[in-house]
Amino acid sequence: MKAPEQTSRLTNDYALDPRDLARLREKARFIRLETIRLIEIAKVGHYSSVFSAAEIFAALYYDVMSLKKGEPGWPSRDRFLMGKGHAAVGLFPILEEYGFISKETLDGYTRLGNPLGDHPDMRKVPGIDFSSGSIGHALSAGAGMAWGGRFAKEKFTTFVMTGDGEMQEGQVWEAALFAAAHKLSRLVAIVDRNGWQLDGRVDDVIGIEPLEEKWRSFGWETHVVDGHDLNALVPLLRRLKADETRERPACVIAQTIKGKGVDHMETEPGWHLGYLVPSDAERAIAEIMAREI
Amino acid sequence: MTAFLTKDTLAEGSWQYRALNAVNPGLDHFSEGLFALVEAGVPVIAGSADLQYSNGLNRFAERYPERYISFGISEQNMVTAAAGLATTGHVPFVATFASFLGLLCCEQIRMDVAYCAQPVRMVGHHTGISLGFYGTSHHATEDIATTRAIADLTVISPADGPQFAEAIKASKDWPEPIYFRIGRGREPDVYAKGTPFTIGKAIEHGIGEELTIIACGLPVHPSLEAAKILNAEGRSVGVIDMATIKPLDREAILKAAGRSKILMTAEEHNVLGGLGSAVAEVLCDEGCGIRLVRHGIHDEYSLIAPPTHLYAHYKLDTAGIVEVARTALAKIR
């Protein structure tokens, strides 16, 4: 896809320092490794949905978002919602690093009575800003938060990560219209455009292109970015958070690869939900350790 | 958004003009209840899905334009956004036709409001068959069934405008989300303005030695009228207003079951899954062994007609409830 004009307007003010780049790469690696470790407990999970979003998680939680360790309910924190709630397993290790949940809780992922399941539950898990699991709701919830934040004169930004198959849900577009009509400028949608859904390629199931034009025509500022390129992703998200002049919400279409980081997951269809037997998991871990994304 | 339609600009024949001139006085209580909450310091935000003139929120929008959100015709987005809004410390009241809230938005109510434990107040108006000839799409005869099956959700069915206003005030410190189902605002008043209301407590208008009618919503008024007629004939008929469907006042039901010879429920709802079912569950749980006549819409799509004609047809007006109650009384052995 050609570089969109909005991206070219980016200045270098928000550029990523090489040390930060190395640190965030390590965090993305940590998210992938932890995902493999936790799914080994459940014996089935959404590896590839986390892997496509690992750099997005790392950029948001370890650079862009304003959060306070040990204070998941800090009123001025930036918010994060997942429309693709099935990638929550990639978020839980981050919450543990922030001191929102204990190591013991993390290690009890999916076991009887543990608050951590396949989808995020705000009632049970401190640091989860909104529950999800039924695809298509998160942007509406995020829009409500952005409206409430503005009314309360708070400056927080609400980031909503959605799947690309999620674009097939009608409620997404109700929310898109609503957010633009109410000029919710502190709302940022990030579409993890990994190209796959359960039944196959998104474009083969129910096509969603031209996606950027759709968002733009709904009144949003749009950006298309390589979702694994931290040097592009982080400056863009930093700027979207800092921008006080924007009068509309912003949508980032993050071009990603489902299963990114593990070669056979990138190429074999069918990894939306699966299980790596221990020998395969070992090879995947070795690959993640060796590869630089 | 402010109310941009005014008496000066609207055609006299328009629905909005009639609404502005208070054809549905019962709905004025909606905004009045909200005014009381705002004045008490509750961070109310009200919203509607293109029906502010039908539910009377135009009055709220005029007084507190900054506290009113116009959602357009997007009911599901409205309910979910209200849940998101509640996480920021506000108390949203969102309203649309009960048929849309209780069915179209059922999953949003479950997933985003109740499961997320957000204190959203949802107001389903024009419930039951009160939308008359607008037809089945606008009739809400399943909304009690859907909402009372959702955990951690309170369900309240006020009998009239004054009770609705008091229920809104009573919601001030209520931690759970609430689904209110209200009529179209033309119901005769049962209660005087300011009659105190307690969530979860039935209002006992009398326990009949022979029959007690347990009603909610619009049928409360005709049930009381019917009881007067029957008692004047020497029968002993009482009425309980079960305004809170959930949490259900089990004690009130058991008290009636202990004193009356037969019970009857009256609701503007399918007899499957509504108040009648809720009462039956209590009687079964407790092994009461008393006969219960469930009166309402009997598992069918209502006919098209003006509302008063429908109430007569489905025996939900005074004459109809008298008739059903007589049949019930005849069953006493």
Q: How far apart are CA A163 and CA A60, in angstroms?
A: 16
Q: How far apart are CA A259 and CA A198, in angstroms?
A: 13
Contact A123 B66 (CB under 8 A): no
**In this structure, what are the phi and psi dihedrals at residue A215, rounded to the nearest 5 degrees?**
-65, -40
Do residues B99 and B140 lie in contact, with contact meaning Cβ atoms separated by under 8 Å? yes
- Which residues of chain B neighbour A171 with C-beta distances below 8 Å? 76-77, 80
Which of A209-228 are b and which e, b meaning 16 or more Cβ less than 10 Å from the residue's Cβ? eebbebbeebebbbbbbbbb
Domain extent, residue A82, equals 18-290
Q: How far apart are CA A208 and CA A239, in angstroms?
A: 27
Confidence band, pLDDT 50/70/90 cuts, at residue B159: very high
ipTM: 0.93
Q: Looking at the domain assignment, is residue A12 inside a domain? A: no
One-letter identity of residue A105: T
The pLDDT, as a whole number, for residue A3 is 42
Structure tokens at A174: 């109700």
Please write the tens of the pLDDT for every residue from A64-117.
Answer: 999 999 999 999 999 999 999 999 999 999 999 999 999 999 999 999 999 999
Do residues B153 and B207 lie in contact, with contact meaning Cβ atoms separated by under 8 Å? no
The pLDDT, as a whole number, for residue B213 is 98
Kindly name the residue from B12, B62, B66, B75 that is annotated as catalytic: B75
Burial class (CB in 10 A: 0-12, 13-18, 19+), A262: buried
- Which residues of chain B neighbour A181 with C-beta distances below 8 Å? 72
Contact A123 B72 (CB under 8 A): no
Domains of chain B: 15-181 (3.40.50.970), 203-329 (3.40.50.920)
Distance, CA of B154 to chain centre: 12
Please tell me the distance in Å from A182's CA to the nearest CA on chain B. 9
Q: Looking at the domain assignment, is residue A3 inside a domain? A: no
Query: Nearest to residue B113, comparing CAs of B175, B44, B48, B182?
Result: B175
Please write the tens of the pLDDT for every residue from B235-283.
Answer: 999 999 999 999 999 999 999 999 999 999 999 999 999 999 999 999 9
Q: Looking at the domain assignment, is residue A13 inside a domain? A: no
Collapsing DSSP to helix, strand or coil, B187 comes out as coil
Please write the tens of the pLDDT for every residue from B284-327.
Answer: 999 999 999 999 999 999 999 999 999 999 999 999 999 999 99
B87/A contact by beta carbon, under 8 A:
yes
Predicted confidence (pLDDT) at residue A125 exceeds the cutoff of 70: yes
pTM for the whole thing? 0.95
Contact A141 B84 (CB under 8 A): yes
Contact A137 B80 (CB under 8 A): yes
Structure tokens at A29: 């690696």
Q: Looking at the domain assignment, is residue A9 inside a domain? A: no
Distance set, CA B179 to CA A35, B89, B275 (Å): 39, 19, 15
Least confident interval from B1-15, B34-48, B94-108 = B1-15
Query: Which one-letter DSSP state was computed for residue A164?
Result: S
Please tell me the distance in Å from B23's CA to the nearest CA on chain A. 31
Do residues B265 and B213 lie in contact, with contact meaning Cβ atoms separated by under 8 Å? yes
Sheet of B203-204: strands edge to edge?
A: B203-204, B237-241, B211-215, B262-270, B291-297
B233 is catalytic: no
Please tell me the distance in Å from A61's CA to the nearest CA on chain B. 20
Angle (CA) B12 B2 B76, round 5°: 100
Give the count of domains, chain A: 1
The pLDDT, as a whole number, for residue B6 is 72
Do residues B268 and B217 lie in contact, with contact meaning Cβ atoms separated by under 8 Å? yes
Burial class (CB in 10 A: 0-12, 13-18, 19+), A107: middle
Domain with A105 in it: what CATH number? 3.40.50.970
- Which residues of chain A neighbour B83 with C-beta distances below 8 Å? 130, 141, 144
Predicted confidence (pLDDT) at residue A56 exceeds the cutoff of 90: yes
Q: What is the mean pLDDT of chain B?
A: 95
A277 CB contacts (<8 Å, ≥6 apart)? none
Please tell me the distance in Å from B74's CA to the nearest CA on chain A. 6
Structure tokens at B198: 């307690």
Q: How far apart are CA B180 and CA B192, in angstroms?
A: 20
Q: Looking at the domain assignment, is residue A162 inside a domain? A: yes
Q: Which of residues 44-63 of B touch A (CB under 8 A)?
A: 45
**In this structure, what are the phi and psi dihedrals at residue A112, rounded to the nearest 5 degrees?**
-50, 120
One-letter identity of residue B202: A
Q: Looking at the domain assignment, is residue A1 inside a domain? A: no
Q: How far apart are CA B279 and CA B154, in angstroms?
A: 16
Q: How far apart are CA B95 and CA B113, in angstroms?
A: 14
